Amino acid sequence: MEPVGNKEELIRRIAVALRGHEGAQAAAAPPPPAPAGIGTEADRISRFREQFESHGGNFLSASAWEVLLPALGEELRMAGVVALFFPDGDAEARRAAEALVPFGPFTLISPAEARQPVSPLTAGLQTAEFAIAETGSIVQTSRGGTSLLPGLLPDVHVALLSPAAFVDRMEECLAAFGQDPPRNISFLSGPSRTADVEQTLTIGAHGPKKTVAVLLP
C-alpha cells in the first residue's frame, strides 16, 4: 500500500516545536571517539571466549580437524542432535557437516526441512562473518544472499569462526558495512533465554538452546 500520513507536516510540526529552543540549529557533533582496542588476535580470541562462555555459549578450539571433529561430535550427541543442516553456498559449513556424520547418529537435512514446524533435533552449521570480542557475540548477516536460518531455527547453533573474523568492538564490526548495511545484521550472544516466568532464567525460549562457537584450525 501507499505510505499514509503527511510526513512533511510531521517534520514541520517538529520544526515549529523546536523553534526558539537552544540547540535547534546546533551543528552535528563529531562522531564519538573510537574506544581503545583490545590488542592482538590472541587477546581478541580469549576475550571473545570469556564473554561468549559467560552468556552460556560453548567454545571449542583445537589445533587440527582430527581433534576438533570428535569433540564437536560429542557436544552435539550429548545435546541429542540427530540432524545437521547448513545453508546453500557455505562451503566451510558443508565440509564440517559432512565430516561430522561418522561421529554421531547424524543425517544431513536441507534448510527447507529444518524450516518445518516439527523437525528432528537439529544443529545448524554456519561460517560466522564476525565475532565481537567485547561482547562475545557471533555476527551473522544477510550480506550476499546469506541465510540466517542456522542461528535462528534449530535447537543447536554451530558457528564456525576463522581467526580473521574476530574484531575488538561493535564499532569495528559496524564500520565494515559503511553506509550500506545488509538487510539483516544479527549479533548472537549465547543461547536464547527468557526470565519472564518468576524472573527465573530459562534457556531456549524461541531460538537455539545451545550455541557452539568453533575456532577453525
Partner 1 sequence: MEPRSHSFYRNSEKSLADTTLQAALSRTTGKFVYARAASVDAYPGFEDVRSEGARIKKETLDALDRHLARFLEEAEKRGAVVHVARDAAEARRIAADIARQEGVTLAVKSKSMVAEEVDLNPALEAAGVEVVESDLGEFIIQLAGEPPSHIIAPAVHKSREQISKLFEQKLSEPYTEEIPELVRMARKHLRAKFLAAGMGISGANFLCADTGSVVLVTNEGNGRMGTILPRVHLAVAGIEKVIPRLADLPIFLRLLPRSATGQAISTYVSILTGTKRQGDPEGPEKLHLLLVDNGRSGILQGKYREILKCIRCGACLNICPVYQSVGGHAYGWVYSGPIGAVLTPLLTGLPEGAPLPNASTLCGACAEVCPVKIPLPKLFLELRADERDQGLKNPAEVFGMKGYAAVMSRAGILEAMERILGVLSRLFFKEGRVTWLPLKLSGWTGKRDFPAPAPVPFRKLWKKHRGIRPWNR
Residues 71-90 that bind partner 1 (CB under 8 A): 87-88
Query: Of 121-140, which residues contact partner 1 (CB under 8 A)?
Result: 135-137
How far is residue 18's CA from residue 8's CA, in Å, rounded to a whole number? 15
- What phi, psi does 124 have (nearest 5°)? -105, 125
142 part of the interface to partner 1, by CB under 8 A: yes
In contact, 153 and 109? CB cutoff 8 Å: no
Edge-to-edge strand ranges of the sheet holding 83-85: 58-61, 210-215, 156-161, 122-127, 83-85, 107-108
- # residues contacting partner 1 (CB under 8 A): 80
| Identity of the residue, 4 or 64, whose beta carbon is nearer to partner 1 in the bound complex | 4
- What phi, psi does 14 have (nearest 5°)? -65, -45
Work out whether strand 130-132 and strand 137-141 pair parallel, antiparallel, or are unpaired: antiparallel
| Identity of the residue, 72 or 135, whose beta carbon is nearer to partner 1 in the bound complex | 135
Site string for partner 1, 83-122 (x = CB under 8 A): ----xx----------------------x---xxx-----
Query: Of 148-167, which residues contact partner 1 (CB under 8 A)?
Result: 148-149, 152
> Among 53, 71, 77, 189, which residue sits at the site for partner 1 (rule: CB under 8 A)?
189
5 part of the interface to partner 1, by CB under 8 A: yes
185 part of the interface to partner 1, by CB under 8 A: yes
C-alpha cell at 60: 571449542
